[in-house]
């Protein structure tokens, strides 16, 4: 018998032994795992004995866990199955949970079928880009397992899933999908004519029908009040036509969710009317509370903004004639959310122009007041970023609105006196009109008064 034939038979025999071992341990296997550490993963012969090293698995190698992790323990040992042998591995002091990709079978009650929302590659393992085949958008797939919560299972901002294609190819994908209760519903959705159309759906039906996107069955009517805003408007991000009927899709509780396919509820087109950005803005103008100058609304419509909502539009006059014009602060809502944006306008000879404030990311009005009694109002704005919040004080300096200071949100304004508790950043005047103001930090508690663009310390 030739040497190559012997090697082939040996490999086949090894694979058969491994397969037999996996079948024997099938009832014990709790999850499938892949090595994600570029330095490999050590398996030990004896639990708790770091001197009993048996083998070091290479990156991307597959093995099985025969017991669940104990998160209560700092150093967790777990029994594994590899190459037909029962061994042990540990992570805690020695390995973090990012060293492995662990996949557990789906619960019986969880949806198994899905439709890909964009073309993607079927990969051999979760942490490689070696592809088995390409999957077209709107293809039906079966989800075999999701990554467990104990590890990092994301690529390109999408969870990496183990799936099976219609031609029985098994591998991993990392692109957005929509889940469905049955394969039949998934197939219908895969054939649907999808139109990505951001807007608001105005529900006009007395008893609207909302369908669960996974089962295509009506949801509990008691949830209608949770879904609908006071104006019966819900944000939708795309629509699809199934069996000749168009449905608009949205995600309950997330009015500004823009991700295609990441929705949970469908509304039949017969339940109301779709409003695009222009239609939505016009609808809110017709139903506004503001009774003032309509020309200001027309000016604000031209400003950059996303689904401007004029239903509770607010106009504050900041000054009468001041160096060739009147100043206003207008506040408009964004869509049906609780997010508001404010804009500075200058009126001159019945025409309005927007005023940009250098160094400012925008104005979110907290209050307006005349701190120095000169007839020109100052503006207190709230800035929220990266989990923190602070105030920005805007005032007129050298004939222009500028940032005067950044203050913590516990700052108090009482009878035109500013009580600073945790220090502040002061923006100093600049000789160069095109340059941002220089800032100076103050760390101590103090009392201040504002006068003509300056903050003055008082006792």
Tens place of pLDDT for every residue, the chain, 459 residues?
454 554 454 444 444 555 555 666 667 888 888 888 888 899 999 998 999 999 999 988 999 999 887 665 555 788 999 998 999 998 643 444 567 888 887 776 677 898 887 889 999 988 878 899 999 988 999 999 887 544 445 565 567 889 999 999 999 998 878 888 888 888 888 887 777 778 899 999 988 888 887 778 888 777 777 777 667 888 887 888 888 889 998 765 444 333 333 446 888 999 999 999 889 988 988 888 788 777 888 888 877 677 888 988 888 999 988 777 889 999 888 888 777 888 898 888 878 888 888 777 778 888 999 999 989 999 999 988 777 889 999 998 888 888 999 999 999 999 889 999 888 888 887 665 544 557 788 877 889 999 988 898 887
Helical ranges in 207-251 per DSSP H? 224-227
Whether the Cβ atoms of residue 354 and residue 344 lie closer than 8 Å to each other: yes
What pLDDT score does 46 carry? Answer: 94
Whether the Cβ atoms of residue 117 and residue 260 lie closer than 8 Å to each other: yes
106-186 belongs to CATH 1.10.8.60: no
Please report, for residues 180, 223, 305, 393, the alpha-carbon distance to residue 237 in angstroms, rounded to integers and kept in the order given: 18, 20, 17, 37
Closest listed residue to residue 151, CA positions, set 79, 103, 80, 112: 103
User: Under 8 Å CB-to-CB from 111, ≥6 apart: which residues?
Assistant: 143, 179, 180, 181, 214
Assigned token pair, 328: 């206003």
What pLDDT score does 393 carry? Answer: 93
What pLDDT score does 38 carry? Answer: 85
Assigned token pair, 15: 């694979």
Domain with CATH 2.30.30.40 in the chain: 106-186
What is the phi-psi region of residue 182: left when phi exceeds 0, alpha when psi lies from -120 to 50, beta otherwise?
beta
Closest listed residue to residue 447, CA positions, set 415, 399, 404, 402: 415
Write down the CATH number for the domain with range 3-102. 2.30.30
What pLDDT score does 24 carry? Answer: 61
Query: Three-state SS for 396?
Result: strand
What pLDDT score does 422 carry? Answer: 83
Whether the Cβ atoms of residue 260 and residue 177 lie closer than 8 Å to each other: no
Residue 271 CB: number of other CB atoms within 10 A? Answer: 19
DSSP 8-class letter at 102: E
CA separation for the pair 331, 310 (Å, rounded)? 9
What pLDDT score does 394 carry? Answer: 92
Q: Which residue's entry shows tokens 């949205």?
A: 250
What pLDDT score does 141 carry? Answer: 94
pTM for this model (two decimals): 0.59
Beta-bridged to residue 352, according to DSSP, are 347
HSE, side-chain direction, 13 A CA sphere, residue 424: 28
Please report, for residues 379, 420, 454, the alpha-carbon distance to residue 426 in angstroms, rounded to integers and kept in the order given: 15, 12, 9
What is the bridge-based pairing of β-strands 154-155 and 140-147? unpaired
Closest listed residue to residue 161, CA positions, set 181, 140, 141: 141
Give the dihedral of Cα atoms 254, 256, 260, 264; nearest 10 deg: 20
What pLDDT score does 380 carry? Answer: 93
CA separation for the pair 340, 107 (Å, rounded)? 42
What pLDDT score does 421 carry? Answer: 87
CA separation for the pair 182, 179 (Å, rounded)? 9
DSSP 8-class letter at 292: S
Query: What is the greatest pairwise CA distance in the chain?
Result: 105
CA separation for the pair 100, 86 (Å, rounded)? 18
Beta-bridged to residue 399, according to DSSP, are none
Listing from the earlier edge strand, what are the strands of the sheet with 351-355?
Answer: 308-319, 326-334, 340-348, 351-355
Whether the Cβ atoms of residue 200 and residue 336 lie closer than 8 Å to each other: yes
Assigned token pair, 169: 């190819």
Closest listed residue to residue 100, CA positions, set 155, 41, 149: 41
Query: Three-state SS for 228?
Result: coil
């Amino acid at each position: 018998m030739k040497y190559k034939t012997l090697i082939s038979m040996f490999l086949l025999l090894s694979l058969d032994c491994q397969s037999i071992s996996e079948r024997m341990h099938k009832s014990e296997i709790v999850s499938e795992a892949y090595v994600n550490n570029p330095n490999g993963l050590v398996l030990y012969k004896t639990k708790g004995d770091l001197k009993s090293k048996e083998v070091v698995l290479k990156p991307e190698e597959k093995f099985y866990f025969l017991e669940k992790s104990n998160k209560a323990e700092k150093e967790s040992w777990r029994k594994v199955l590899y190459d037909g042998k029962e061994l042990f591995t540990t992570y805690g002091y020695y390995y973090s949970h990012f060293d492995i990709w662990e996949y557990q079978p789906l619960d019986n009650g969880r949806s198994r079928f899905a439709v890909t929302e964009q073309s993607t590659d079927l990969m051999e393992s979760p942490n490689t880009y070696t592809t088995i085949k390409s999957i077209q958008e709107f293809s039906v797939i079966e989800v075999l397992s999701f990554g467990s919560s104990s590890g990092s299972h994301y690529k390109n901002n999408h969870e990496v899933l183990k799936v099976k294609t219609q031609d029985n190819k098994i591998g991993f994908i990392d692109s957005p999908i929509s889940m469905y209760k049955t394969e039949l519903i998934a197939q219908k959705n895969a054939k649907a004519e999808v139109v990505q159309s951001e807007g608001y759906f105005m529900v006009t039906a007395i008893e609207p029908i909302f369908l669960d996107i996974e089962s295509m069955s009506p949801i509990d009517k008691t949830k209608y009040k949770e879904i609908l805003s006071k104006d019966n408007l819900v944000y939708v991000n795309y629509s699809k036509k199934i069996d000749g009927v168009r449905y608009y899709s949205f995600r309950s509780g997330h009015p500004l969710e823009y991700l295609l396919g990441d929705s949970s509820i469908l509304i039949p087109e017969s339940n109301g009317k779709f409003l695009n950005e222009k239609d939505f803005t016009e609808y809110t103008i017709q139903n506004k509370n503001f009774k003032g100058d309509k020309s200001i609304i027309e000016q604000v419509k031209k400003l950059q903004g996303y689904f401007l909502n004029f239903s509770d539009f607010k106009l504050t006059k900041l000054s009468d004639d001041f160096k060739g014009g009147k100043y206003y602060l207008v506040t408009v809502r964004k869509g049906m959310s609780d997010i508001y944006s404010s804009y500075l306008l200058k009126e001159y000879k019945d025409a309005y122009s927007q005023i940009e404030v250098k160094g400012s990311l925008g104005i979110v009005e907290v209050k307006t007041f005349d701190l120095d009694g000169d007839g020109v109002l100052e503006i207190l704005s709230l800035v929220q970023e990266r989990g923190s919040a602070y105030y920005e004080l805007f005032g007129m300096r050298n004939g222009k609105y500028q940032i005067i200071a950044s203050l913590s949100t516990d700052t108090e304004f009482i009878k035109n006196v500013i009580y600073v508790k945790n220090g502040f950043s002061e923006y100093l005047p600049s000789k160069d009109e095109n340059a941002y103001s220089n800032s100076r930090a103050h760390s101590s508690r103090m009392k201040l008064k504002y006068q003509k663009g300056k903050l003055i310390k008082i006792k």
